[in-house]
């Protein structure tokens, strides 16, 4: 449960604070504990600057004074700053909509011209960010977990904050929760649900044939396990014996995928947003990593094991099988 904290006296000087978040699904989940802490510190005064739908998908339970949506052209500019001044008008329009801002907190992890233009246009009394150009520049340390790095923003404003007290899952609509609960109820009471997520950028994906082989062997050893695949792609792996115990829930709304992971018992996946969802739900998991570092983007809160190699293709079926078995022994020692 997120605890209630009493801001330090100097925090009350911030009358119109704004937090800026843009990026992929994983970026929003990484920032979630920090935004929760900021919202508590600012006692309902915090305004959020984000892409359309981000508030509803990730931050619906966070008390905010207002939300300013980033123009789609502005989002494109943030990811393609070589376009120069062509989209500056969108940045200036956003700054005008924000209006008075005495504290500007930026979660952006990538340097872009548009962020610089926005900061100059808003002209806050104080700015805090992970990039050069802010009054308080948080040292960008890839040796720290990304959630801990994001959490240094609220820690700049108040002492004694602990990320664990704000690291709850994002709220999802009741319809998504009901779908996940119904899915869970459709299986026997002793069934163990293994949520699986495999689709991402090619360099971070594990070959499907290896995934199918690892799942087939794990399901063969544990007859009570049912695999539930979430994500955008259908599971098309060739499984020799246990294909009927794999349920593909690909293509369901993002909130439903989050809820399905939340009712699962175990997780297997690559470096992705769904791994962060499992982590925030405290679902024990095995994470597979190649070009990215699990110390930065892996599990942070849930019981876990990480399997890493120089490339994803170098991760063997045996390594993943061993990790799943080790995790099984920890989570279900009597089965």
The CATH class given to the 9-165 domain equals: alpha beta
Q: What is the pLDDT of residues 71-84, one digit of tens each?
A: 665 555 555 544 45
More confident: 97 or 16: 16
Q: What is the per-residue pLDDT for 80? A: 53
Residue 107 has pLDDT above 90, yes or no: yes
At 52, the pLDDT band (50, 70, 90 cuts) reads confident
Q: What is the pLDDT of residues 287-322, one digit of tens each?
A: 999 999 999 999 999 999 999 999 999 999 999 999
Give the angle 27-31-34 at the CA atoms, nearest 5°: 175
Q: What is the per-residue pLDDT for 79? A: 53
Q: What is the per-residue pLDDT for 86? A: 47
Q: What is the per-residue pLDDT for 9? A: 46
Are the C-beta atoms of residues 190 and 332 closer than 8 Å to each other?
no
What CATH number does the domain located at 174-331 have? 3.40.50.2000
Q: Which of 124, 137, 135 is nearest to 17 (CA)?
A: 124
Residue 26 has pLDDT above 90, yes or no: yes
Q: What is the per-residue pLDDT for 85? A: 54
Give the angle 281-44-301 at the CA atoms, nearest 5°: 20
Q: What is the per-residue pLDDT for 147? A: 97
Mean pLDDT of the chain, nearest integer: 89
Q: What is the per-residue pLDDT for 266? A: 98
Q: Which of 99, 107, 28 is nearest to 66 (CA)?
A: 99
Mean pLDDT of 179-192: 96
Residue 7 has pLDDT above 50, yes or no: no
Are the C-beta atoms of residues 137 and 26 closer than 8 Å to each other?
no
Residues carrying CATH 3.40.50.2000, the chain = 9-165, 174-331
Q: What is the pLDDT of residues 27-46, one digit of tens each?
A: 999 999 999 999 999 989 99
Residue 109 has pLDDT above 90, yes or no: no
Q: What is the pLDDT of residues 129-158, one digit of tens each?
A: 988 889 999 988 888 999 999 999 999 998
């Amino acid at each position: 449960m997120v605890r209630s904290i009493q801001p330090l006296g100097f925090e009350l000087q911030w009358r119109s604070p704004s937090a800026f978040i843009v990026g992929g699904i994983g970026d929003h989940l990484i920032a979630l504990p920090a935004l929760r802490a900021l919202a508590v510190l600012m006692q309902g005064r915090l305004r959020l600057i984000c892409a359309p739908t981000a508030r509803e998908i990730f931050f619906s339970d966070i008390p905010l004074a207002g939300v300013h949506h980033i123009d789609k052209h502005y989002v494109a500019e943030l990811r393609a700053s070589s376009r120069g001044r062509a989209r500056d008008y969108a940045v200036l329009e956003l700054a005008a909509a924000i209006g008075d801002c005495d504290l500007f907190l930026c979660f952006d992890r990538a340097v872009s011209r548009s962020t610089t233009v926005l900061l100059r246009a808003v002209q806050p009394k104080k700015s805090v960010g992970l990039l050069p150009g802010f009054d308080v520049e948080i040292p960008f340390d890839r040796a720290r977990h990304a959630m801990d790095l994001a959490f240094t923003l609220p820690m700049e404003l108040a002492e004694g904050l602990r990320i664990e007290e704000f690291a709850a899952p994002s709220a999802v609509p009741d319809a998504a929760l009901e779908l996940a609960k119904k899915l869970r109820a459709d299986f026997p009471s002793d069934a163990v649900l293994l949520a699986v997520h495999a689709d991402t950028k090619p360099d971070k994906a594990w070959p499907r044939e290896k995934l199918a082989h690892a799942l087939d062997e794990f399901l063969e050893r544990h007859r009570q396990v049912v695999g539930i695949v979430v994500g955008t792609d259908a599971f098309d792996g060739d499984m020799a014996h246990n294909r009927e115990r794999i349920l593909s829930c690909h293509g369901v709304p993002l909130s439903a995928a989050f809820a399905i992971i939340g009712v699962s018992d175990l997780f297997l996946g690559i470096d992705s947003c769904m791994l962060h969802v499992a982590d925030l739900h405290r679902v024990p998991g095995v994470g597979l990593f190649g070009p990215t570092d699990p110390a930065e983007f892996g599990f942070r809160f849930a019981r876990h094991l990480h399997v890493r190699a120089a490339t994803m293709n170098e991760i063997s079926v045996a390594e993943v099988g061993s990790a799943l078995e080790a995790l099984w022994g920890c989570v279900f020692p009597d089965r």
